Amino acid sequence: MNKQIEQIHQDFLEGLNSAKDAMEIQALSIQYLGRKGLITGVLKGISQLPKEERPEAGKKANQVRLAVDNAIQEALQKLATVNTTTEDVIDVSLPGRLPLKGSLHPVSQIQQKICDIFSRLGFDVAEGPEVESDHYNFEALNFPKNHPARDMQDTFFVSDDIVLRTHTSPMQIRIMEKTTPPVRVVTPGKVFRCDSDLTHTPMFHQVEGLLVDSDISFGDLKGILTTFIHQMFDEKTSLRFRPSFFPFTEPSAEVDILCVMCRGKGCRVCSQTGWLEILGSGMVHPALYENVGYPSGKYTGFAFGMGVERIAMLKYGIDDIRKFFENDIRFLQQF
What percent of the chain stands above pLDDT 70?
94
Q: Hey, how many other C-beta atoms are within 10 angstroms of the C-beta on 200?
A: 16
Q: Which of 154, 150, 130 is nearest to 138 (CA)?
A: 150
pLDDT 10s digits, 149-167: 666 667 888 888 899 999 9
* Least confident interval from 170-179, 266-275, 304-313: 266-275
The yes-or-no verdict on residue 220 having pLDDT over 90 is yes
Report the sign of the C-alpha dihedral through residues 292, 146, 205, 315, in that order: negative
Taking the CB of residue 76, how many other CB atoms lie within 10 A of it? 15
Angstrom distance (rounded) from CA 117 to CA 219:
19
206 forms bridges with which residues in the sheet?
A: 189, 307
The pLDDT, as a whole number, for residue 61 is: 78
Q: What percentage of the chain carries pLDDT values higher than 90?
A: 42
Compute the average pLDDT of residues 67-90: 74
- Residues of each domain in the chain carrying CATH 3.30.930.10: 106-332
Q: Could you report the per-residue pLDDT of 227-265, keeping only the tens digit for each?
A: 999 999 988 888 999 999 999 999 999 999 988 778 778
Kindly list the distances between the CA atom of residue 92 and the CA atoms of 85, 88, 96, in Å, as whole numbers in the listed order: 15, 12, 9
Answer whether residue 300 shows pLDDT above 60. yes
Q: What are phi and psi of 107, to 5 degrees?
A: -65, -40
- Please give the average per-residue pLDDT across 180-200, as a whole number: 85
User: What pLDDT was estimated at residue 89?
Assistant: 67
For residue 145, the model assigns a pLDDT of 79
Higher pLDDT, 321 or 83: 321
Query: Closest Cα partner for 141 from 181, 164, 174, 187?
Result: 174
Q: What is the mean pLDDT of the chain?
A: 86
pLDDT given for residue 64 in this prediction: 81
CATH value of 106-332 in 3.30.70.270, 3.30.930.10, 3.40.50.620, 1.10.3720.10: 3.30.930.10
pLDDT band, very low/low/confident/very high, at 25 (cuts 50, 70, 90): confident
pTM here? 0.67
Tell me the range of 40-44, 71-75, 307-311 where mean pLDDT is highest: 307-311
Whole-number pLDDT of residue 151: 65
Is the pLDDT at 102 greater than 90? The verdict is: no
Checking if the pLDDT of 322 tops 80, the result is: yes
At position 69, the amino acid (one-letter code) is D
- Burial of 29-49, coded b for 16+ CB within 10 Å and e otherwise, reads beebbeeebbbeebbeebeee
Q: 54-88 and 22-33 helices cross at what angle (nearest 10)? A: 170
How much is the pLDDT for 183? 96
